Amino acid sequence: MQSYWRNFIDGEWGDGGAGRAEIVNPGTGERLAEQAMADAADVDRAVRAALRVHESGALIDMRPVERGRMVQSMGRFLTEHEEDIAHVLCLEQGKPLWEARREIAGAARYFEYYGNQAETLEGRSIPLGAGYVDFTQSEPYGVSAQIIPWNFPVEIAARSLAAGLATGNACVVKTSELTPLSSAWLAEAAVAAGFPAGAVNIFCGWGHEAGAALAGHGEARQIVFTGSVATGIKVAEAAARHIAPCVLELGGKSAAIVHEDADLDAFERDIRWGIYFNAGQICSAMSRVIVHEARHEELVERAAQVARSLSVGPGIDRDTPGLTMGAMASDTQRDRAAGMVSDAERQGARLVTGGRKMNIPGAFLEPTVLSQVTPDMSIAQEEVFGPVLSVMSFRDEAEAVRIANGTEYGLVAGVFTRDLNRASRAAQKLRAGQVFVNEWFAGGVETPFGGYGKSGYGREKGREALWNYVQTKNIAMAVR
């Protein structure tokens, strides 16, 4: 493992004005490497480099298919280096090695998908009667500023970067101070694809310093933020001061409604993926299950079995896909989640299994199931961002939807039933940007993703995401 990792600004790898940060392996608690930390001057340099590239026309003058091919080739670069990137990602983030490989494959898929979309953005012609020709075109904002969290550092950076570049924006990416290392390959991929210096800038820095400087930079003309609600508010406020549009992908407290006719054998798989994949550190995690009272005991028992079946330990030892779970991203995250479980117990929830930090080095929390959770408890309202499932029960359909919709969030939701009418009614009433029927996480890079309420606004993934990165220009020509 390289001991010191630099930032990539204006085509060069360099130190950061804010010194270095220690990156810790959450799977062991040991120091992994040092990362250069950008200060406000570095951020300014990156934004100006991106603006220079935009104004040069290097990205917007080329035929979109060519730009699309370059974006696609970044994905191929990641695939070629999948093993190296996955290794570093696993060590810095804590996830099992096989999950890290999946993340790199997912990141590559974004470049493939958005590379393919580059030449599909078309305007329309608007009839204005005799004497006029009128048409619209989509133009990139120019500089897309992207602030990335630590849970899927490569995949989330890839999704914003791929859409930003495909639409012709130069991009400035600030990585998370917990997981900056694996993003280095995104910069290498941009170089290998032939993007000019300044088209892709990737650096790490402290959120309150480099993150705030980026969100507040007057030339950051469009901002994509993925992270917590508290930080999202700060980013939106900073962006508002220079009237930059934002995409905010924030947290969630997403619920699955499980009816009495649901296939619980199949649902065990949804529990495994929905709340224990990436140790539950997924904004769209299935953190609440609202089950019909007739199946409550059975579901709680099955959930506990899934939780107990997971082999938990350092991700680097978990090489092949299976029933495994790695560390959480940091001790702070783990202690916060464990504290929320204790609070839930104090408020009357029953700890069915797990809930305690494990007695081994590293940021490990036992896979956890809580039952007898009621909608007023903080565990039912606040995002844990960890491997903690809260089970609640309902009597009738209306109550189930009311409980599911009863938080400030609205990222995703699910309904599990063999009755298509019931599923359709719920899908219409659930307040969420995405509804899964009979399979949690159904969908892919092709399907739009984003939140209602405090889960944010704007959409990432799918065709919808492209509209965040472009603005419409109307050209009206008087023809005499």
Instruction: Please give the positions annotated as active site.
Output: 249, 283
Tell me how far, at minimum, the Cβ of 320 lies from ligand NAD, in Å. Answer: 26
**250 forms part of the interface with ligand NAD (CB under 6 A):** yes
Enumerate residues 374-393 that contact ligand NAD by CB under 6 A: 383, 385
Nearer to ligand NAD, 224 or 344 (CB): 224
Q: Which stretch binds ligand NAD (CB under 6 A): 194-202, 247-255, 308-316, 399-407?
A: 247-255
Tell me how far, at minimum, the Cβ of 433 lies from ligand NAD, in Å. Answer: 9
Instruction: Please name which of 469, 96, 32, 121 lies closest in space to residue 278, comparing C-alpha atoms.
Output: 96
Nearer to ligand NAD, 262 or 285 (CB): 285
CB count in 10 Å sphere of residue 262: 22
Nearer to ligand NAD, 231 or 368 (CB): 231
How open is the CA angle 278-284-285, to the nearest 5 degrees?
Answer: 50
Enumerate residues 116-175 that contact ligand NAD by CB under 6 A: 147-151, 156, 174
The residue whose Cβ lies closest to ligand NAD is: 207
Tell me how far, at minimum, the Cβ of 158 lies from ligand NAD, in Å. Answer: 13
* Phi then psi dihedrals of residue 65, to 5 deg: -60, -35
Tell me how far, at minimum, the Cβ of 243 lies from ligand NAD, in Å. Answer: 17
**251 forms part of the interface with ligand NAD (CB under 6 A):** yes
**176 forms part of the interface with ligand NAD (CB under 6 A):** yes
Residue partners of 283: CB distance under 8 A and separation at least 6: 151, 226, 249, 250, 251, 252, 383, 385, 411, 455
Binding mask 338-377 for ligand NAD (x = CB under 6 A): ----------------------------------------
Q: How many residues does the chain have?
A: 480
* Phi then psi dihedrals of residue 141, to 5 deg: -65, -30
Nearer to ligand NAD, 267 or 440 (CB): 440
Nearer to ligand NAD, 198 or 232 (CB): 232
Q: List 383's β-bridge partners, or say none.
A: none
Cα 191 to the center of its chain, rounded Å: 24
The three-state secondary structure class of 370 is: strand
Q: Which stretch binds ligand NAD (CB under 6 A): 35-43, 134-142, 244-252, 354-362?
A: 244-252
* Phi then psi dihedrals of residue 338, to 5 deg: -60, -40
Tell me how far, at minimum, the Cβ of 215 lies from ligand NAD, in Å. Answer: 5
How open is the CA angle 318-320-325, to the nearest 5 degrees?
Answer: 40
Nearer to ligand NAD, 220 or 352 (CB): 220
Nearer to ligand NAD, 267 or 385 (CB): 385
Tell me how far, at minimum, the Cβ of 426 lies from ligand NAD, in Å. Answer: 22
Instruction: Please name which of 204, 213, 218 lies closest in space to residue 41, comparing C-alpha atoms.
Output: 213
Sign of the Cα torsion 232, 152, 369, 262 reads: positive
Tell me how far, at minimum, the Cβ of 176 lies from ligand NAD, in Å. Answer: 4
Considering only 27, 68, 115, 207, the residue that binds ligand NAD (CB under 6 A) is: 207
d(CA 270, CA 448): 20
Q: Which stretch binds ligand NAD (CB under 6 A): 54-62, 208-216, 289-297, 472-480?
A: 208-216
**469 forms part of the interface with ligand NAD (CB under 6 A):** no
Q: List 226's β-bridge partners, or say none.
A: 249
Q: List 92's β-bridge partners, or say none.
A: none
Q: Which stretch binds ligand NAD (CB under 6 A): 25-33, 89-97, 205-213, 425-433?
A: 205-213
d(CA 375, CA 340): 15
Cα 306 to the center of its chain, rounded Å: 25
Q: Which stretch binds ligand NAD (CB under 6 A): 164-172, 190-198, 249-257, 428-436?
A: 249-257
Residues 212-225, buried b or exposed e (16+ Cβ, 10 A)? bbbbbbebbbbbbb
Tell me how far, at minimum, the Cβ of 285 lies from ligand NAD, in Å. Answer: 8
Nearer to ligand NAD, 8 or 267 (CB): 8
Sign of the Cα torsion 14, 190, 184, 455 reads: positive
Tell me how far, at minimum, the Cβ of 389 lies from ligand NAD, in Å. Answer: 16
Considering only 92, 99, 103, 177, the residue that binds ligand NAD (CB under 6 A) is: 177
State how beta strands 170-175 and 143-147 pair. parallel
Binding mask 211-240 for ligand NAD (x = CB under 6 A): xx--x----------xxx--x--xx-----
Nearer to ligand NAD, 156 or 377 (CB): 156
DSSP assignment of 119-165, as one string? GG----B----TTEEEEEEEEE-SEEEEE--SSSHHHHHHHHHHHHH
Cβ atoms 328, 25 nearer than 8 A: no
d(CA 364, CA 366): 7
Please give the residue ranges that form the binding site for ligand NAD (CB under 6 A): 147-151, 156, 174, 176-177, 207-208, 211-212, 215, 226-228, 231, 234-235, 249-252, 283, 383, 385
